[in-house]
């Protein structure tokens, strides 16, 4: 069989694109409600221990699956959409996706892996190694779905094959899975997580086969030394030492700054990223930033973007319509804010794109 073709995407070429997103909806997934005390969410993987589903002798942590968030969005019949998974342990892929998402007509949704040393129970210096292992063992595959004129195309970067040895190493690296190994070796549960991951990845491979882009392997080329330091977020914040969300926010802001300069507005649902960048009434954000609730964050982000377009089309605003990024944790994305996110994503990816007054209002 011939090797699948590689799609080399240069960062400069993304920046030169004439397209522009309405809103980038961004989920950093630390797999529980963390800032409120490590409660289980729809993003918590099976058998992980949380404070609301602790792993013990009778119940081995979370009973239930980790829902697939990204692929279903591709099948809602939207007009223009950029969907991807990301992991800050692969920064070129991560930053390339942020930039491309912002430079794609319609809207975008990116779900990023986001290590949590406190909630996952591991040392502060382990975040990068664990994040990398997550993709390398097949747990967190990196893939993209581009919807253009309603037609969807799947592509991927890495992490589609499950490596069982690495998977066990991944589970063992975190206290949240400790009860699967001690005092007894819970083989059935360990096999089950691996099995569910394989099922998910096999489904993904089939989707890539059925809806694959002509060149299905995406390689982003980013000369990171050439990138300007981001100006969206000040260095001070209150995240835990070694928190994965720090890497996520830094890389997101770096790529976003390269695209938008300071013409960016962030909308942030209540979460670690929100509380840690807004302590004591002083924000860490240098560009406009709005804190909103789980239910309303996505709607507010849509409203900000759409309002600017309406004002511009009526001649009340002459500047460049700002880029908007909406940031939500997994608790607000999977559980409480999901229907609002889904509605906002569909509105901004289809209704806004189809509205002659709003389209091409740059």
Which chain residues interact with ligand TPP by CB under 6 A?
A: 30, 33-36, 41, 270-273, 293-294, 329-332, 336
Contact flag: residue 297 with Mg ion (CB under 5 A): no
Residue nearest to ligand TPP (CB): 329
Nearer to Mg ion, 124 or 354 (CB): 124
- Compute the half-sphere exposure of residue 118: CA atoms within 13 Å on the CB side of its CA: 18
Residue 336, contacted partner among Mg ion, ligand TPP, none, CB below 5-8 A by kind: ligand TPP
Contact flag: residue 329 with Mg ion (CB under 5 A): yes
Shortest CB 338 distance to Mg ion, Å: 14
Size of the site for Mg ion (CB under 5 A): 5
Contact flag: residue 353 with Mg ion (CB under 5 A): no
Contact flag: residue 330 with Mg ion (CB under 5 A): yes
Give the footprint of Mg ion on residues 209-248 (CB under 5 A). none
Shortest CB 316 distance to ligand TPP, Å: 34
Nearer to Mg ion, 11 or 334 (CB): 334
User: Which long-range CB contacts under 8 A does 146-151 form with residues at least 24 apart?
Assistant: 146/81, 146/82, 146/83, 146/104, 146/213, 147/74, 147/78, 147/79, 147/80, 147/81, 147/82, 147/83, 147/106, 147/349, 148/80, 149/79, 149/80, 150/77, 150/78, 150/79
Shortest CB 292 distance to ligand TPP, Å: 10
Shortest CB 248 distance to ligand TPP, Å: 10
Nearer to ligand TPP, 36 or 223 (CB): 36
Give the footprint of Mg ion on residues 2-31 (CB under 5 A). 30
- The 10 Å CB-count burial string (b at 16+, else e) for 210-246 is ebbbeebbbebebeeeeeeebebbeeebebbebbbbb
Shortest CB 53 distance to Mg ion, Å: 14
Cα–Cα distance for residue pair 228/26, rounded to 1 Å: 22
Q: Is 65 helix (H, G, I), strand (E, B) or coil?
A: coil
Cα–Cα distance for residue pair 182/300, rounded to 1 Å: 46
Q: Where are the alpha helices (DSSP H) in 173-236?
A: 187-211
DSSP string, 133-176: HHHHTTSS-EEEEEEETTEEEEEEEE--S--HHHHHHHHHTSGG
Shortest CB 29 distance to Mg ion, Å: 7
Nearer to ligand TPP, 25 or 220 (CB): 25
Residue 270, contacted partner among Mg ion, ligand TPP, none, CB below 5-8 A by kind: ligand TPP
Binding residues (CB under 5 A) for Mg ion: these are 30, 34, 329-331
């Amino acid at each position: 069989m011939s090797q699948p073709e590689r799609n080399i995407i240069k960062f400069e070429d993304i920046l030169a694109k004439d397209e522009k997103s309405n809103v980038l909806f961004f989920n950093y997934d630390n797999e529980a409600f963390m800032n409120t005390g490590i409660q289980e969410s729809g993003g918590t993987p099976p058998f992980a221990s949380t404070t609301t589903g602790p792993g013990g002798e009778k119940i081995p942590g979370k009973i239930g699956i980790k829902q697939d968030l990204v692929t279903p969005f591709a099948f809602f019949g939207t007009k223009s959409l950029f969907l991807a998974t990301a992991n800050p342990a692969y920064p070129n892929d991560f930053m390339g996706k942020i930039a491309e998402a912002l430079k794609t007509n319609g809207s975008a949704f990116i779900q990023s892996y986001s290590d949590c040393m406190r909630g996952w129970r591991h040392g502060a210096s382990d975040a990068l190694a664990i994040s990398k292992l997550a993709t390398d063992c097949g747990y967190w595959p990196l893939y993209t779905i581009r919807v253009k004129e309603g037609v969807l195309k799947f592509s991927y970067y890495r992490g589609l094959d499950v490596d069982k040895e690495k998977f066990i190493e991944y589970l063992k690296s975190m206290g949240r899975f400790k009860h699967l190994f001690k005092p007894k070796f819970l083989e059935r549960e360990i096999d089950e997580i691996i099995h569910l991951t394989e099922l998910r990845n096999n489904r993904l491979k089939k989707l890539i086969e059925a809806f694959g882009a002509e060149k299905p392997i995406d390689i982003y080329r980013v000369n990171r030394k050439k990138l300007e330091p981001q100006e969206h977020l000040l260095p001070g914040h209150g995240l835990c030492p070694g928190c994965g969300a720090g890497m996520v926010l830094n890389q997101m802001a770096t790529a976003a700054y390269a695209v938008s300069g300071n013409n960016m507005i962030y909308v942030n649902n209540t979460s670690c990223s929100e509380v840690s960048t807004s302590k004591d009434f002083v924000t860490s954000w240098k560009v406009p930033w709005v804190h909103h609730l789980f239910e309303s964050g996505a709607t507010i982000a849509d409203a900000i973007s759409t309002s600017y377009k309406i004002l511009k089309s009526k001649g009340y605003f002459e500047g460049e319509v700002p880029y908007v990024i909406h940031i939500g944790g997994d608790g607000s994305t999977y559980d409480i804010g999901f229907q609002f996110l889904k509605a906002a994503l569909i509105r901004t990816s289809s209704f806004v794109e189809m509205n002659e007054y709003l389209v091409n209002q740059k």
